[in-house]
Amino acid sequence: MDFIQIAKKAKQASLEIAHLDAEVKNTALNTIANELEIYKNEIFEANNKDLEDAKKLVEAGKLGKSTFNRLKLDDNKMRDMIQGVRDIANLEDPVGKVLLKRELDKELILTKVSCPIGVLGIIFEARPDVISQISSLAIKSSNAVILKGGKESKNTNTKIMEIINKALNKVHDFPQNVVQQVFSHEDIAKMLKCDEYINLIIPRGGNKLVQFIKENTKIPVLGHASGICHIFVDKNADIDIASRVIVDAKTQYPSACNAVETLLIHSDFSQKEELLASLQIEEIKLVSNPESWDMEYGDKILSYKFVHSIDEAIDHINKFGSGHTDCIITSDKENAELFMDKVDSAGVYWNVSTRFADGFRYGFGAEVGISTNKTHARGPVGLEGLTIYKYKLVGNGDVVDDYAKGIKSFHHQDI
């Protein structure tokens, strides 16, 4: 089918799912979870086909080992994937929340109500578990979604999508075409141009993918192209806290976007040599003169430099950081507050590992991703980031002319 037809169907589906009862959406999610459970062996079979093809590519040096690992579904990943769908069913409905209720004048009532955004376009790489996660988040937030996955997982994706749509067909009152999939590389280009029907693009993948998407669409993009996170060790830092936090932020999962990449140390910190030694013991490779200050290593490598003041640290971070998550280690409350106010990042931390930047850890229950945008949604984004709002105004023949002429006046009372 032509992409534009798929997009039109998604738009229609988005209008239908927009006002669907929470109960029907939750039934849909639980049905998906049940069917994934029932047909999981079929998914493993499809995944094996993809893995066989991928193995050849790895052997030929055309596919990285880490991509191969992300592609592979095992019992644990399958269990988490199914549980993830049930968890989203159990979250509070993000749609239809009353955000403001105000009497503008007697019997003239304004209500601001959360509602879905419309049609989401998702572009992701080799992780097939993304399909059920993103589809579930879209359904829960009453958005339609078009997914484009990596070609390496085509068999797995197709099977999972088939099971999801078979499940949705069984649910009474659930609209058609809420969850659709496209396959070809050309579909990405078409999706990025389709601002008439697609309201938000969410890329899930490496920096290059995200950067490419941000460069090539007028549609709002929710995500982050890079994660250059900093830790600044202040003059009055506790060395145990500093060492413990840096080791966690660098080694607990080095390829994560919230791992630390640059360490800034106040030149007056008296235990700086011990601190650096403690990091080397943990097999962190220290680079004192990196080629550039915006390197995202994704490995146990850490750039570092000495700074002469907290202001120099803040300036460095605002200049070279990616606005993701940055931390100060200090015993000085005033400096901590200065740092958290002046560093312009989605997450500003005090004596805490940058690895906490995550929707689950923040208690959002599920996560679309982490945004470094300065509009709409910032930091870890849960269901709320997939909603917007509309204003309902109810009266009884009220006209603006009465207010323009001074016959009536507003009293603006929140109720």
Q: How many residues bind its own copies (CB under 8 A)?
A: 71
In the bound state with its own copies, the residue whose beta carbon lies nearer, of 303 and 372, is 372
Q: What are phi and psi of 408, to 5 degrees?
A: -125, 165
CA distance 341 to 326: 12
Compose the 325-364 pattern: x for residues touching its own copies by CB under 8 A, - for all others.
-----------x---xxx-xxxxxxxxxx-xxx---xxx-
Tell me which of 404, 406, 407, 415 binds its own copies, using CB under 8 A. 404
Q: Distance between alpha carbon 413 and the CA centroid of its chain, in Å?
A: 37
The reply to whether 98 sits near its own copies by the rule CB under 8 A is no
Closest CA to 54 of 122, 155, 182: 155
The reply to whether 407 sits near its own copies by the rule CB under 8 A is no
CA distance 150 to 184: 9
CA distance 171 to 167: 7
In the bound state with its own copies, the residue whose beta carbon lies nearer, of 160 and 242, is 242
Cβ atoms of 197 and 5 within 8 Å: the answer is no
Q: Which of residues 110-169 bind its own copies (CB under 8 A)?
A: 110, 117-118
Q: Is 231 helix (H, G, I), strand (E, B) or coil?
A: strand
Q: How far is the CB of 352 from its own copies (least distance, A)?
A: 4
Tell me which of 211, 252, 267, 270 binds its own copies, using CB under 8 A. 252
Q: How far is the CB of 128 from its own copies (least distance, A)?
A: 23
The reply to whether 245 sits near its own copies by the rule CB under 8 A is yes
Token digits of residue 23: 């109960």
Q: How far is the CB of 99 from its own copies (least distance, A)?
A: 11
Task: Tell me the CB-side half-sphere exposure of residue 199, using CA atoms within 13 A.
Answer: 18
Q: Is 108 helix (H, G, I), strand (E, B) or coil?
A: strand
Tell me which of 58, 104, 171, 301 binds its own copies, using CB under 8 A. 104
Q: Is 249 helix (H, G, I), strand (E, B) or coil?
A: helix
The reply to whether 240 sits near its own copies by the rule CB under 8 A is yes
Q: Is 229 helix (H, G, I), strand (E, B) or coil?
A: strand
Q: How far is the CB of 45 from its own copies (least distance, A)?
A: 31
The reply to whether 77 sits near its own copies by the rule CB under 8 A is no
Compose the 360-399 pattern: x for residues touching its own copies by CB under 8 A, - for all others.
-xxx---------xxxx-xxx-------xxxxxxxxxxxx
